[in-house]
Amino acid sequence: MFSKRIRNVEPSATVQLSNKVKRLKNQGLDILSFTLGEPDFNTPQHIIDAAKKALDEGKTHYTSSLGIPELREVIAKRYGRQNDIEITSDNVIALPAKFALYSAIQSTINKGDEVIIPNPGWVSYGPMVQLARGIPIKVKMSYDDGWGMTAESIEAQLSSKTKAIILNTPANPTGSVLDKETLKGIADLADDRDILIISDEIYEDLVYDDMEHFSIGSLDHVKDKTITVSGLSKSYAMTGWRLGWMIAPKEAIKMVNKLQQHSLTCMPHFIQMAAVAALEHGRDPVLKMRDEFQERRNILIPLLNEIDGVSCEVPKGAFYAFFKVDIGFNSMDLADMLLYKAHVALTPGSAFGSMGANHMRMSYAASRENIIEGVHRISDFVDGFRKDR
Ligand code: PMP
Ligand code: GLU
């Protein structure tokens, strides 16, 4: 009954685990969850008000499959202002960020094409490539070199079949941020070898200390071969609104628009109106949330490093601590034990690729109080385990 494609693809470890935690919580278990990458803040009120107003005005019908002109315009302007990418509305389509990545891959990858993805990297890149019948080729990154992807590490994995490179900065699950120099090196390589760049920048607003986000698509020589994906989910605490976008050469937008017309049709009108309000209002609420994430990170990382057998680098962006645990369990077993015995839900590092083995991902998009209590539970579990041995 089912296609080979869908049978062979793994479920999303992040979404699956969060479903499981929701189920356990509904059964009354007191679980502290740090699994999903989802801001705990409410969506800023002016955005909610804009959505309500749009609903009252009857903005509940289909729109252009590309998105309403006001939204595409405001996104295009934002790219000029914030990302140094000068574009027009013709370079923009509104769709959920996850679906933008899926569509970029569906629209460019043929059977047998190789696509470079990070290891460890977000759980959906590999399956998205497989669903397009491409072959994911993983570039290994390690804790010891700051989880960075470089032109050299990518070049070592290129072949005559390489069609695209997926970049993710700031990165899920490691929190690493690629600097301009590194991205320039990767752009030179992609230009040289005529490879498409798919740049997932969904965490672009969440960079800390003196780090700055840099968009590879702002480099002139790769403008025509870069697809940039981002959205409102992480920056504006709007995960459930499902509003994101793709920035790409006009021709690519036309191709992706065909997929949109045969699948989603368009984004809901009132949500697009709310997105206009979000982007027009300025970045103050985003920066406020960013500052709070940074404070939480500053509380969390030292606490984690105090636990015997745990080590964690300070992440430069996103809102995940990706820490090494050296207590003799693989990360899947440890995640299960922490969940059922300590009532703390973390995502096992191996879900993000082989280089994530013996690591755990803890999202710090949670209250300070829960973060502190969560680390106590982890620490008590690890200490208790050592005593029992
Ligand atoms: N890319 C990465 C790296 C992510 O972590 C996520 C998870 N939200 C997405 C893309 C998809 O974002 P959205 O939920 O806005 O579709
Ligand atoms: N991206 C988030 C995460 O990694 C949400 C779940 C998902 O889309 O994978 O937790």
Determine the atom of ligand 2 nearest the C-alpha atom of 347: 10
Determine the atom of ligand 2 nearest the C-alpha atom of 173: 4
233 lines ligand 1 (CB under 6 A): yes
Q: Please state the separation of Cα 184 from the chain's center in Å.
A: 21
Atom 10, ligand 1: which residue's CA is nearest?
98
Atom 5, ligand 2: which residue's CA is nearest?
37
14 lines ligand 2 (CB under 6 A): yes
Strand 226-231 and strand 244-247: pairing? antiparallel
- Return the pLDDT at 143: 81
Q: What is the DSSP string of 284-322?
A: HHHHHHHHHHHHHHHHHHHHHHTSTTEE-PPP-BTTEEE
- Return the pLDDT at 384: 84
> What ligand is nearest to the CA atom of residue 202?
1
- Return the pLDDT at 213: 97
Domains of the chain as residue ranges with CATH: 4-42+285-388 (3.90.1150.10), 57-280 (3.40.640.10)
**Residue 101 contacts residue 117 (beta carbons within 8 Å):** no
> What ligand is nearest to the CA atom of residue 35?
2
Q: Which residues contact 328 (CB under 8 A, 6 or more apart)?
A: none
- Return the pLDDT at 386: 72
123 lines ligand 2 (CB under 6 A): yes
231 lines ligand 1 (CB under 6 A): yes
**Residue 332 contacts residue 348 (beta carbons within 8 Å):** yes
Determine the atom of ligand 1 nearest the C-alpha atom of 243: 15
Determine the atom of ligand 1 nearest the C-alpha atom of 232: 15
CA of 56 to the centre of ligand 2 (A): 32
> What ligand is nearest to the CA atom of residue 241?
1
Atom 1, ligand 2: which residue's CA is nearest?
37
DSSP secondary structure code for residue 389 in this structure: -
* Longest Cα–Cα distance in the chain: 65
168 lines ligand 2 (CB under 6 A): no
Q: Walk across the sheet containing 244-247 and list its strands.
A: 92-94, 244-247, 226-231, 196-200, 162-168, 114-119, 135-140
- Return the pLDDT at 389: 66
- How many Å is the Cα radius of gyration of the chain? 21
Cβ burial of 388 (10 Å; 0-12, 13-18, 19+) is exposed
- Strand blocks (E) in 169-311: 196-200, 226-231, 244-247, 310-311
Q: Which residues contact 215 (CB under 8 A, 6 or more apart)?
A: 79, 83, 84, 85, 199, 201, 204, 228
CA distance 283 to 265: 30
14, 16, 17, 98, best to mutate for ligand 1 pocket (most atoms within 8 Å of CB): 98
CA dihedral 54, 57, 61, 66 (to 10 degrees): -50
303 lines ligand 2 (CB under 6 A): no
> What ligand is nearest to the CA atom of residue 234?
1
Atom 3, ligand 2: which residue's CA is nearest?
37
Q: What is the pTM of this model?
A: 0.97
Other Cβ atoms less than 10 A from the Cβ of 374: the count is 26
Determine the atom of ligand 1 nearest the C-alpha atom of 233: 15
48 lines ligand 2 (CB under 6 A): no
pLDDT lower than 70: segments of the chain: 388-389
Q: Walk across the sheet containing 320-325 and list its strands.
A: 310-311, 320-325, 359-363, 347-348
Determine the atom of ligand 1 nearest the C-alpha atom of 101: 10
> What ligand is nearest to the CA atom of residue 233?
1
Atom 8, ligand 1: which residue's CA is nearest?
37
Q: Identify the helix (H) or strand (E) that includes residue 153.
A: helix 151-155
Spatial CA neighbour of 58 closest among 270, 266, 276:
270
Residue whose entry in the numeric block shows the structure tokens 């969850």: 33
Question: With b meaning 16 or more CB within 10 Å and e meaning fewer, what string describes 31-53?
Answer: bbbbbbbbbbbebbeebeebbee
